[in-house]
Structure 1
Amino acid sequence: MEITFEHVTHSYDANSPMANLGLDDVSLKIDDKKFTAIVGQTGSGKSTLVRHINALLKPTSGKLTVGDRVITSETNNKNLKPLRKKVGMVFQFPESQLFEETVEKDIMFGPMNFGFSESDAKDAAHEMIELVGLSKDYLQKSPFDLSGGQMRRVAIAGVLASNPETIILDEPTAGLDPVGRHEIMDLFKNLQSKGRTIILITHNMDDVANYADEMAVMSQGKLVASGLPSDVFNNQDLLKNDLLTLPQSAQFAQSLAQKYFQFNKLPITIDELSAEIKQQVNGD
Structure 2
Amino acid sequence: MGLDDVSFTIKDKLFTAIVGQTGSGKSTLVRHINALLKPTSGSIKVGDRLLTPETNNKNLKPLRKKIGMVFQFPESQLFEETVEKDIMFGPMNFGATEEEARTSAHKMIQLVGLDESYLKKSPFDLSGGQMRRVAIAGVLASDPETIILDEPTAGLDPVGRKEIMDLFKQLQAEGKTIILITHNMDDVANYADEMAVIHRGKLVAHGLPQEVFNNQELLKDNLLTLPQSAEFAQDLAQKDFKFDQLPITIAELGAKIKQQLSGETNG
Q: Answer yes or no: same fold by TM over 0.5.
A: yes
For the residues of structure 2 that align with 1:217 and 1:262, how far apart are their CA atoms? 27
- The one-letter code matched in structure 1 to 2:13 is K
Does 1:88 pair with 2:76? no
The equivalent residue for 1:114 is: 94
The equivalent residue for 2:166 is: 186
SS state at 2:243 partner? coil
The equivalent residue for 1:266 is: 246
Report 1:92-107 matches (<5 A).
92-107=72-87
1:260 Cα offset (Å): 2.6
For the residues of structure 1 that align with 2:146 and 2:207, how far apart are their CA atoms? 19
- The one-letter code matched in structure 2 to 1:31 is K
For the residues of structure 2 that align with 1:175 and 1:279, how far apart are their CA atoms? 37
For the residues of structure 2 that align with 1:135 and 1:274, how far apart are their CA atoms? 37
The equivalent residue for 2:180 is: 200
- The one-letter code matched in structure 2 to 1:134 is L
For the residues of structure 2 that align with 1:62 and 1:179, how far apart are their CA atoms? 42
For the residues of structure 1 that align with 2:231 and 2:58, how far apart are their CA atoms? 49
SS state at 2:236 partner? helix
Q: Which runs of 5+ in 2 are unaligned?
A: none
For the residues of structure 2 that align with 1:270 and 1:260, how far apart are their CA atoms? 19
- Residue by residue, what CA displacement relative to the aligned partner does 1:217-249 show, whole Å, maximum 9, x if unpaired? 000000000000000000000000000000000
1:282 Cα offset (Å): 1.0
For the residues of structure 1 that align with 2:193 and 2:41, how far apart are their CA atoms? 29
The equivalent residue for 1:69 is: 49
Q: Which runs of 5+ in 1 are unaligned?
A: 1-20
- The one-letter code matched in structure 2 to 1:260 is D
The equivalent residue for 1:25 is: 5
Does 1:227 pair with 2:207? yes
- The one-letter code matched in structure 2 to 1:104 is E
SS state at 2:42 partner? strand
Give aligned-pair identity as a percent: 80
- Residue by residue, what CA displacement relative to the aligned partner does 1:114-172 show, whole Å, maximum 9, x if unpaired? 00000000000000000000000000000000000000000000000000000000000
Scaled by the length of structure 1, the TM-score of the pair is 0.92
- The one-letter code matched in structure 2 to 1:38 is I
Scaled by the length of structure 2, the TM-score of the pair is 0.98
For the residues of structure 2 that align with 1:53 and 1:87, how far apart are their CA atoms? 8
SS state at 1:107 partner? helix
Q: Higher helix fraction: Structure 1 or Structure 2?
A: 2
- The one-letter code matched in structure 1 to 2:84 is E
The equivalent residue for 2:27 is: 47
Runs of 4 or more off by more than 4 Å in structure 1?
Answer: none
For the residues of structure 2 that align with 1:175 and 1:278, how far apart are their CA atoms? 34
Larger relative contact order (C-alpha < 8 A, sep ≥ 6)? 2
1:24 Cα offset (Å): 0.3
For the residues of structure 2 that align with 1:249 and 1:203, how far apart are their CA atoms? 16
SS state at 2:5 partner? strand
Does 1:244 pair with 2:224? yes
For the residues of structure 2 that align with 1:279 and 1:61, how far apart are their CA atoms? 52
- Residue by residue, what CA displacement relative to the aligned partner does 1:181-200 show, whole Å, maximum 9, x if unpaired? 00000000000000000000
CA RMSD of aligned residues (A): 0.7
SS state at 1:262 partner? coil
- Residue by residue, what CA displacement relative to the aligned partner does 1:32-72 show, whole Å, maximum 9, x if unpaired? 00000000000000000000001000101111100010001
For the residues of structure 1 that align with 2:206 and 2:238, how far apart are their CA atoms? 28
